[in-house]
């Protein structure tokens, strides 16, 4: 049996292995020989997808508040050679902390898009930023209203990635840029592939990933949706080595028992409880220097690392 690849639309993708969405829920993964993408086929139900995510996942964003705030400040600084100001959208913004850091240290007008209404409401009150609650394909803004859209580790979770990318292209002004960070699909699924013959279906490193995009498949998808790819850089090389089993304990997490489905009932969490998780403000200068040194290892001519950083521009 073959399937159509959602990235390049080639009709000859074939079964490769099974993985676990959660304990007791095995699903087929198909490989596309044309573009190198892998994907769930058939796509899991919305109910099964929802079971991959913990209730109130965004509590962790309170603990990493200053890290996200400084990410926004650093992003505005890195955009200076291109633009000093404009309209900026963060997709999957959680509490909107990155947006607050960018707003406070630049001339950018910022907005966020978040699927969880609870996270969006808390983010509006905590960071005083505009956050709409919807999926990217249902974004409530008119065409060509943003100069820059930031999508960090979201596209691989989308059940309809082409619709999401087309929505991003629709929202961008001509010449506007999409900043996309996404797992390097062939590496993201590699440990499951290497262990499958001996151990059968295992949970993936990150739960809820529906698509595993290669460099080539991303380029084809973005271009089909009206975006020109300006650069693709690979990073997180230590995780790339772990995916290959090269470091001690690399596959311990994969061989552990798969996680249970998360309960559908959400436990309570108030904004005041979240505020107490925010630590003291660390040094900005130290953060900036460390980030700059890490960015030296974002390389364009290798696919060894675990993640990809893509810059694309609307035609």
pLDDT of residue 261: 86
Q: What is the pTM of this model?
A: 0.96
User: How remote is the C-alpha of 298 from its chain's centroid?
Assistant: 17
pLDDT of residue 265: 47
pLDDT of residue 77: 98
Sequential pLDDT tens for the chain (315 residues): 999 999 999 999 999 999 999 999 999 999 999 999 999 999 999 899 988 888 778 889 999 999 999 999 999 999 999 999 999 999 999 999 999 999 999 999 999 999 999 999 999 999 999 999 999 999 999 999 999 999 999 999 999 999 999 999 999 999 999 999 999 999 999 999 999 999 999 999 988 999 999 999 999 999 999 999 999 999 999 999 999 999 999 999 888 888 888 755 445 679 999 999 999 999 999 999 999 999 999 999 999 999 999 999 998
Query: End-to-end distance of the chain based on CA atoms, in angstroms?
Result: 37
pLDDT of residue 268: 62
Q: How far apart are CA 305 and CA 187, in angstroms?
A: 7
Q: How far apart are CA 58 and CA 8, in angstroms?
A: 33
Domains for the chain: give ranges and CATH numbers.
56-191+212-257+276-314 (3.40.50.150)
pLDDT of residue 127: 98
Q: How far apart are CA 4 and CA 35, in angstroms?
A: 12
């Amino acid at each position: 049996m073959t399937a159509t690849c959602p990235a390049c639309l080639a009709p000859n993708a074939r079964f490769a292995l099974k993985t676990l969405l959660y304990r007791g829920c095995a699903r087929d993964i198909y490989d596309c020989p044309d573009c190198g993408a892998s994907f769930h086929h058939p796509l899991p139900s919305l109910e099964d997808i929802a079971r991959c995510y913990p209730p109130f996942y965004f509590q962790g964003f309170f603990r990493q508040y200053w890290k996200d705030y400084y990410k926004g400040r650093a992003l505005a600084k890195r955009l200076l050679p291109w633009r000093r100001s404009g309209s900026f959208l963060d997709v999957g913004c959680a509490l909107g902390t990155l947006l607050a850091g960018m707003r406070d240290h630049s001339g950018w007008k910022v907005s966020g898009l978040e699927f969880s209404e609870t996270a969006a409401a808390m983010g509006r009150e905590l960071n005083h930023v505009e956050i709409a609650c919807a999926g990217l394909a249902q974004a409530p803004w008119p065409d060509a209203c943003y100069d820059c859209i930031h999508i960090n580790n979201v596209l691989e979770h989308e059940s309809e990635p082409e619709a999401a990318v087309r929505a991003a292209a629709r929202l961008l002004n001509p010449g506007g840029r999409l900043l996309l960070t996404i797992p390097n699909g062939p590496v993201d699924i590699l440990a499951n592939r290497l262990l499958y013959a001996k151990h059968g279906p295992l949970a993936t490193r990150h739960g809820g990933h529906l698509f595993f995009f290669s460099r080539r498949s991303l380029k084809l998808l973005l271009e089909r949706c009206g975006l020109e790819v300006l650069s693709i850089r690979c990073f997180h090389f230590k995780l790339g080595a772990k995916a290959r089993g090269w470091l001690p304990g690399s596959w311990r997490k994969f061989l552990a028992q798969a996680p249970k489905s998360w309960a559908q009932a959400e436990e309570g969490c108030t904004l005041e409880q979240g505020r107490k998780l925010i630590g003291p403000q660390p040094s900005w200068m130290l953060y900036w220097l460390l980030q700059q040194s890490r960015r030296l290892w974002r390389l364009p001519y290798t696919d060894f690392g675990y993640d990809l950083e893509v810059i694309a521009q609307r035609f």
